[in-house]
Amino acid sequence: MSFGRMERTPGSAPMGEINMTPLIDVMLVLLVIFIITAPLMVSAVRVELPQASATPVADAASPSLEVAIDKAGLVYVRGKPLAGTALEAVLREAATRDAMTEVQLRADTAVPYGRVVEFMALANRAGLSRVGFVAQEPK
């Protein structure tokens, strides 16, 4: 009688490399999401800008505040509709943070000139004196 060892099949060895397929899938999904949402993040307020050609002024040193006025005359600050004391409070807060804050005004072509002047007077009372008008390049 001989007692011998029975041969066993060796178990599977641990994998020494990362499976990249799930990581690549996640990256491709994120890329598609960013490609779709990036154009929507530019300006949430639909405004038909006037057309003008001029050399753009780039002053990256001073902060800016994006303001849009739509056809109905509603004022949007950073995409949120504001009016009255809330609008004035936001403008005053921007002026206290930095007096050289530039208001980048996007006014629809259908907005009456008087409404734009009213907003400019409100911004001036709040302490903001730099207003830049955003226009669209002619086609």
List pLDDT tens digits, range 10-47. Answer: 777 777 788 889 999 999 999 999 988 887 766 566 66
- Whichever domain contains 99, its CATH number is 3.30.420.270
Residue 44 forms part of a structural domain: no
Q: What is the DSSP letter of 39?
A: G
Residue 10 lies in a domain: no
CB 110 within 8 A of CB 47: no
Q: Does residue 111 belong to any structural domain of this protein?
A: yes
Specify the pLDDT at position 42: 64
What pTM was estimated for this model as a whole? 0.55
Examine residue 95 and state whether it is found in any structural domain, yes or no. Answer: yes
| Confidence band of 60 (pLDDT split at 50, 70, 90) | low
Q: Summarize the confidence of residues 60-82 as an average pLDDT.
A: 80
Q: What is the domain range of residue 68? A: 64-133
Q: Does residue 79 form part of some domain?
A: yes
Those residues whose C-beta lies under 8 Å from the C-beta of residue 127, and which sit 6 or more positions away, are: 91, 92, 95, 96, 99
